[in-house]
Structure 1
């Protein structure tokens, strides 16, 4: 019975991580808060795989996962951004801090009512959006003017979550079972690397997630362009067919 509960325990761990990230971000510990959000991303991917591996998938687990995601990847990154910069923008900053998790909630609700699984996500997943926002908050010292770039980036991420842009679903990618053992080791390695300043892991994570977000936008633009060309080609073919029918009618007369 306990084994079947492992996915839910991982999901609750994700929720706890999100709450801790909110609390420590209010103390100005943004590096640790961003790291917790990243660890939450790993747990979010791990609980679903554990549920499928243990045949413990359920509607309860799905709803619990969404509620945890809203806290860890919606509220926690928004709180980080608010403490970093939005608090200086008055009512506009307050509205943007509310806007991001609200779009995240809409994104999760839409995902939960989808009846069939697919190889792509419709809209930027809140996990990726929250990871980008949390690590983006750490780029303030090198972005000028950050008071403009960061809020605009946050607004764009919010829009992408509720958009119809399609993103690859990496949850459909098969990983070896040994990956379950390697994930904790990877988490500890990343934590030590950031803690002792061996690498700027936040930049690496931000870059990877930002490429994912941009890829979806470019793919969506290309898809609309191709569809527009095809519709124009179809309409032109229809015009040619009509002209041929008209000319043949004249010949018969």
Structure 2
């Protein structure tokens, strides 16, 4: 009975992390708040895998996961960005801070009611959008025109969540068992990079997630171009080629 509750405990842990991230950000510790959001991303991936492994999948768990995601990847990253920059933009900053979690809520609602696909997500997942936004907020000291770039980036992420752009669903990708031996190598390499400051964690996570977001947009443009071309010739387009 206890094992069946493990996925829900992980999901609630994700919710707690989102709340703590906001409390930490309110005290000016933006780097710690962003790192908490990133940790929440890993927990969000674990609860689903734990549910499938323990055969504890349920409708309750799915709804709880969505509600937790709304806090950790919708409200918390928006709050961090508001504290870092948007508060200085007046009414426009307030609108942007509200618009992002609104789009996140619509993204989650659409995901919960639409026909599930084993190959792709429709719209940028809120987990990726929240991770990008939280780590992007830390780039303010580096980017001189940040007062323009960051709000525009936040607006783009918001629209990507409610768009029809398709993104690969890596949760359904089968990982060969032989590749397990490489996990310690990657883990050690990652630790060395972080430990000796060869790379910043926030920039590393931001880079990975940003590539994922741009990938979906580029493949979506390729699909639309191919679709228009094929419609003229009367042929069908295989959409799975553009994931």
**What TM-score do you get using the length of structure 2 for normalisation?**
0.88
| Residue pairs, 1:10-159, within 5 angstroms | 10-159=10-159
What is the Cα deviation at residue 72 of structure 1? 0.3
Give CA deviations for 1:189-214 in whole Å, capped at 9, x if unaligned. Answer: 98997698563111111001000000
Unaligned runs of 5+ in 1: 236-253
Alignment partners' CA distance in 1, 2:176 and 2:139: 34
Alignment partners' CA distance in 2, 1:195 and 1:23: 27
Give CA deviations for 1:62-105 in whole Å, capped at 9, x if unaligned. Answer: 00000000000000000000000000000000000000000000
Alignment partners' CA distance in 2, 1:234 and 1:36: 50
Contact conserved, 1:190 with 1:201, CA < 8 A, in 2? Answer: no
Alignment partners' CA distance in 1, 2:126 and 2:71: 10
Unaligned runs of 5+ in 2: 236-243
RMSD between superposed Cα atoms in Å: 2.7
Equivalent residue for 1:246?
Answer: none
Equivalent residue for 1:199?
Answer: 199
- Count of aligned pairs between the two proteins: 232
What SS does the corresponding residue of 1:116 show, helix, strand or coil? Answer: coil
Name the CA shift for 1:79/1:176 in 2 (closer, same or farther; >3 Å). farther
Contact conserved, 1:35 with 1:191, CA < 8 A, in 2? Answer: no
Alignment partners' CA distance in 2, 1:49 and 1:105: 23
Name the CA shift for 1:46/1:211 in 2 (closer, same or farther; >3 Å). same
What SS does the corresponding residue of 1:141 show, helix, strand or coil? Answer: coil
Name the CA shift for 1:190/1:21 in 2 (closer, same or farther; >3 Å). farther
